[in-house]
Structure 1
């Protein structure tokens, strides 16, 4: 096979003499995507948070988490490529691993970024047809969802991701894109990353239609609803599946069905 050159989302150019066969994935949603592209047999290492598909962790070597990895375990796996994400993994991890292996870094903020990532994986791992088919399925599902959501009223929301301190999703991430897709106006959309919120002096809370409490990275539970409700008594507070809002890749197909169910509950 001839050499081929591809550039990742951070602008790093990679030259491959052959299709990478041994993959370490440090991004749970992208692990799921790799499996859905037919590459499970090529995955040799994953994180402890790579919970989809079910039982994958029993069949693969766990090399740590998304923020801290075991470099010796990774070295023992002799990977041809390591998959990372700008937001999920630290710059330190990426730089340390780059010294020894090709590290492909994705940066996903929008649905268009998601389509590009799937197409890139199709090229990177020579699974063009499966990548094209998956992107077509997502595009069809998006068209259907857009028709479903078209006449739904816009609701102003805040999306909580953390507690102690409380933190919410700002406007420069994939969660924000999913909120927009659902006709949810993100109350913190004009702020970057994940700003802290102090409920006691949060003046804008009275203007919200809904507060969403995500199941990850902080696992909000029913008991958290009453605590937040004491500060926001007139606002509807809903527990939501964080994977559906924050996981990219093939998860978007499941998320669109989930969003329809969520809309019916609001």
Structure 2
């Protein structure tokens, strides 16, 4: 099972318009293939039933459900809080919420990490301070696993900035849970991710270094640890500055087989 990439949805049934199953189905129709089930306040039986329902929705598009917490609820993919448990359980896919370099360097057998908060978030106001794209890049550079950017990511420009900072994907909650049209929102954000990854790959193929690309955009930033991650071609495993490759962009209907900042997050 590969690590999540692209647009990853975090659930919050309390703000989901029209019900959580409807929002997840609509997001899947817009290209989302990864969903992290939170709802940790629910009794286990109710949460397990919800996990079953969401897995059925995602199965139709080849998607994957990741469960926040050490209990996979009948699956084999979990997302753990920064506080534990340690060592991670031996599931096929294990993610971890991280917020700083100390937490990232504590990772052992985890397959990916979320890094937050990148931007201020309405879901958890006052949490931070926000990393911004520069802070995100610094943490990507020290991570040994793929990083998902998390926190206040709502616009295509924000998605693009996260990709340029080296994120393998973006984790989104409010922008999709509160959207009046989750399919349109998911399509817009997914397209922004794919276009940003393609642009990074094109620059790499034409010998444009990250520093030169930033200069062309009017941005100057000192490199701290080598090259920006590159996008591997299909089946390749190019090495990035964080020790892993970024996934090849995919069409909205395809799926490469397989934090939040809310009151029942995996933190």
Fold agreement, TM-score > 0.5: no
Report the TM-score, using the length of structure 1 for normalisation: 0.26
Report the TM-score, using the length of structure 2 for normalisation: 0.26
Which of structures 1 and 2 has the bigger CA Rg?
Answer: 1
More helix by share: 1
More strand by share: 1
Higher relative contact order (CA 8 A, sep 6+): 2
